[in-house]
Amino acid sequence: MTAEITIVYGVLLGALLLFASDRLRLDLVALLVLLVLALTGILTPAEALAGFADPVVLMIAGLFVVGEGLFQTGVAGALGRLPARIAGNSEVGLLAVIMGMVAFLSGFMSSTGTVAVMLPVVVTLAAERGIPPSRLLIPLSVASLLGGMLTLIGTPPNIVVSQQLEAMGREPFGFFTYTPVGLVMVVLGGLFMVLVGRRMLPDRASPRKGTAPDAPSLSELAGSYGLGGELYKSRIPEGSELDGVTVGEARIRSRFGVTVLDVLGTVSRKDEEGVAPDTMLRAGSTVVLTGNEDAMGEMARHLELQIGPAGAQDLSGRVGLVEVLLTPRSRLVDQTLPESQFREKYQVDVLSVRRLGEPVAEDLRDLRLRFGDTLLVRGTWEGLRLLQGERRDFVVTGLPKEMEAATRPYSRAPLAVGVMVGMMLLLTFQVVPAVHAVLLAAVAMVLGGAVSGDDAYRAVNWESVVLIAGILPLATAMEKTGAMGLAVDLLTGPLTGAGPFVLLAGLFVLTSALSQIISNTATAVLLAPIAFQLALSMDANPEPFLMGIAVAASTAFATPIASPVNTLVLGPGGYRFGDFFRVGVSLQLIILAASLFMVPLLFPFFD
C-alpha cells in the first residue's frame, strides 16, 4: 500500500467520522476533504475543484430552482391536493400515498427529476398540516430509490448490468424483468417506513425563507394601529347612500372609525390597482373593512348594512398592509403626508401612524411626521413589495403572513407546468444530457417569470451543492491512486470460491457500501464484470448476481452524499448525517434479506 493510498483511506475515514459526529457542517467537512487532497498533492488544483463543474452539482442547483418555480406558482399546492384527498389528515396515510406515487414515477423517469417535482409538493403539504418536513422528506428520497428498481430505465445501474449480460453473449434483462423484484422491495420499503422508519425520523423544523413564521396577520397588524383587530365584509344594497359615491366621499373612516381595506365587484373604478379615495362604490359591490365591533355596529345601523365577519381570503388578493419605520435621515420628517406627496410618489395610502408605540389620534392630514414614527400602509401587494427597496426615507419592518402567498406569480402556473413536463420528457427519453434538461428548465422558470432571479438564488440549498462538489474529488482520488481497485480486490478476494448465497450476499453488501460514498452507477460499472467472472468460476448463472448488484446499487439510503435525491432533501428537511444512517442501514438489511430470498427464486443459480 503506497503513501498516497494511505492518505486517501485516512481522508475517507476521517470524513465519515466527522459526518457521523455532526460536530461540523457537512459542507465544511467536504471542503476540508477537498483541501487535504489538494494540499497533499494527490489531486491537482483542477482535479480538486472539478466537482464544482460536475454535471451532478449543476443538476442539483438547477432542480432547486425548478422546484421553487413549482412552489411559487402554486403548482406544488395543486399537485399536493391528490395525495391530500386520498390520505386525509393522517400523517401515516400521507406518507404511504406519497411513497407510492413517487415509487411509481421513479420507475419510468429519473429519480432525481421525480424528487425535484415532488419536493415542493411535499413541503407544501407538510406546512399545510403542521407536519415538520423532516417527517416526510427522507421517505420521499427512499421511495424514489426503491422505485428505480421497477424497470430497466428506472436507474442507470439497471442498464449497466443488462448491458454487461449482453456484452458477454447472454440475454439482457428486459424492460419489466426488474418489476417482480422491484415491487417486493417497494412494498417492503413502504411498510418499513410506515411502521418503523418514521419513528426514527426527527421532528426538525426547516422554515422556508420569506415572511417570518411569527409575522402578524393582516387583521392583527391593523389592530395594533387602533383600527380594530378583525376583518368584516358587507355587500352594498340597492338604494344605499354608498351607491354611486367614492370611498373618499363616503367618509367611512372619519364617521365611524372603520377603514376600507378592499372593494370587490366595483362597476367603475378609476384606480384599478387598489383602493383609493376615488374608487367608486356601487350597489352589489362588497367592501372589506377593519375596525372594532362597536364601530361596525354603528356603521351597520346608520347605513342599513348587513355586516359579517371576513378573513384574508375575502380580500381580492391585490390589496394588503405593511408597516414602515421612518429613518433618521428621512425626507418625510417634519412634513405632513399631503406635503410629502406620499401617495403620489409610492402609490400607497397611509392608514394610521404609531408614535412611541401608541396610535396617533390626530388627523393624519395635519400630522407632522417624526423620526421613529411607524406608518401602516395600504396598497397593492406588488406596490408594497416595491417599498422594500426603499432605504433612505423609511424601511419596511412589518410584513403580514398573507404577503408571501399573495405575491406569488400564480398566473405563471401553466408555464411552470409546461416547463416541468418538458423537463420530465427530456429526462425520460434522454433527448439531451440530463444536466442540460435541468438547466434549460431552471432558466425557463426564471425567463418565464415563474420565479425571480433573486428568488432562484435563494432557493438553492448551497450546503447541499457545496457538499457534493467538495466530496466528489474523493472518488477521483480513489481511482487515481488505485485505492478503489485495491479495496475491491481485498473485498472480492474472499468471495472467490464461496457458495452462491455467500457470493450474492457479499456482492450485495459490497455494492451497497460503495454506493454510499461514490456514484451507484460507477459502482455497478466496476462490479458488474467482476460478478460475471465470479459466477462463471463456479459454473453458475450470472443473472442472479447481476440482479443483486442492480438492487444493491439502489440502496443508497445511508448517507446524504450517496445519491442526488438524498442531497436534494438534506437542506429542506434540516437533516443531519445520522438521520440518513439510522433509517438507511436498517432498510438496507431488510432489502438484503429480501434479495437473498427473491433473487434466487426468480433467477436460479444453476440451470
pLDDT at 273 over 50: no
What gap in Å lies between CA 579 and CA 202, rounded to an integer?
7
- Interhelix angle 520-537/543-553, nearest 10 degrees: 160
In this structure, what are the phi and psi dihedrals at residue 346, rounded to the nearest 5 degrees? -110, -5
Q: What pLDDT is attached to residue 405? A: 62
What gap in Å lies between CA 376 and CA 225, rounded to an integer?
7
Q: What pLDDT is attached to residue 206? A: 54
Amino acid at 283: A
The C-alpha angle 164, 168, 173, rounded to 5 degrees, equals 50
Cα 384 vs. chain centroid, distance in angstroms?
26
Instruction: Evaluate whether 424 touches 117 at the Cβ level (below 8 Å).
Output: yes
Average pLDDT over residues 459-465: 85
Choose among 231, 223, 354, 343: nearest CA to 277. 343
Instruction: Evaluate whether 573 touches 138 at the Cβ level (below 8 Å).
Output: yes
Instruction: Evaluate whether 491 touches 534 at the Cβ level (below 8 Å).
Output: no
Choose among 567, 596, 468: nearest CA to 144. 567
Q: What pLDDT is attached to residue 589? A: 95
pLDDT digit string, tens, across residues 116-146 = 788 888 887 887 788 889 999 999 999 999 9
Q: What pLDDT is attached to residue 271? A: 41
In this structure, what are the phi and psi dihedrals at residue 312, rounded to the nearest 5 degrees? -60, -30
C-alpha separations of 420 from 55, 144, 173, 289, 402 in Å: 19, 17, 30, 40, 27
pLDDT at 430 over 90: no
In this structure, what are the phi and psi dihedrals at residue 394, rounded to the nearest 5 degrees? -165, 165
What gap in Å lies between CA 79 and CA 119, rounded to an integer?
11
Counting every residue, how long is the chain? 607
Average pLDDT over residues 464-487: 86
3-state secondary structure of 6: helix
C-alpha separations of 190 from 97, 99, 119, 446, 589 in Å: 10, 7, 18, 36, 14
Amino acid at 112: T
The C-alpha angle 287, 376, 349, rounded to 5 degrees, equals 60
Q: Which single residue is written with the C-alpha cell 429480501?
A: 594
Q: What pLDDT is attached to residue 272? A: 43
3-state secondary structure of 527: helix
Q: Which residues contact 235 (CB under 8 A, 6 or more apart)?
A: 284, 285, 286, 306
Instruction: Evaluate whether 152 touches 162 at the Cβ level (below 8 Å).
Output: yes
Which cell goes with 337? 403626508
What gap in Å lies between CA 351 and CA 518, rounded to an integer?
60
Average pLDDT over residues 44-62: 89
In this structure, what are the phi and psi dihedrals at residue 504, rounded to the nearest 5 degrees? -60, -45
Q: Which residues contact 10 (CB under 8 A, 6 or more apart)?
A: none
Average pLDDT over residues 396-411: 69
Amino acid at 577: F
b vs e for 80-96, b when ≥16 Cβ sit within 10 Å of the residue's Cβ?
beebbeebeeebeebbb
CA torsion through residues 138, 140, 146, 152, sign: negative
Q: What pLDDT is attached to residue 518? A: 79
H/E/C letters for each residue in 285-331?
CEEEEEECHHHHHHHHHHHCCCEEEECHHHCCCCEEEEEEEECCCCC
What gap in Å lies between CA 130 and CA 531, rounded to an integer?
48
Q: What pLDDT is attached to residue 215? A: 63
pLDDT at 444 over 90: yes
Which cell goes with 47? 482535479
Instruction: Evaluate whether 120 touches 445 at the Cβ level (below 8 Å).
Output: no
Average pLDDT over residues 76-83: 76
Query: End-to-end alpha-carbon separation of the chain, Å?
Result: 41
Instruction: Evaluate whether 564 touches 116 at the Cβ level (below 8 Å).
Output: no
- Interhelix angle 3-21/577-602, nearest 10 degrees: 110
Choose among 352, 303, 317, 314: nearest CA to 230. 314
Task: Please tell me what DSSP assigns to residue 217.
Answer: P
Q: What Rg do the C-alpha atoms of the chain give, in angstroms? A: 31
The C-alpha angle 300, 310, 308, rounded to 5 degrees, equals 30
Instruction: Evaluate whether 42 touches 480 at the Cβ level (below 8 Å).
Output: yes
Dihedral through CA 277, CA 278, CA 280, CA 286, nearest 10?
-30
Q: What pLDDT is attached to residue 601? A: 94
What gap in Å lies between CA 206 and CA 333, rounded to an integer?
40
Q: Per mean pLDDT, which of 169-178, 203-212, 354-363 is the most reliable? A: 169-178
Task: State the chain's mean pLDDT as an integer.
Answer: 84
Task: Name the more confident of 99 and 64.
Answer: 99
Choose among 39, 18, 37, 40: nearest CA to 29. 18
DSSP for 62-93? HHHHHHHHHHHTTHHHHHHHHHHHHHTT-HHH
pLDDT at 229 over 80: no
pTM of the model: 0.66
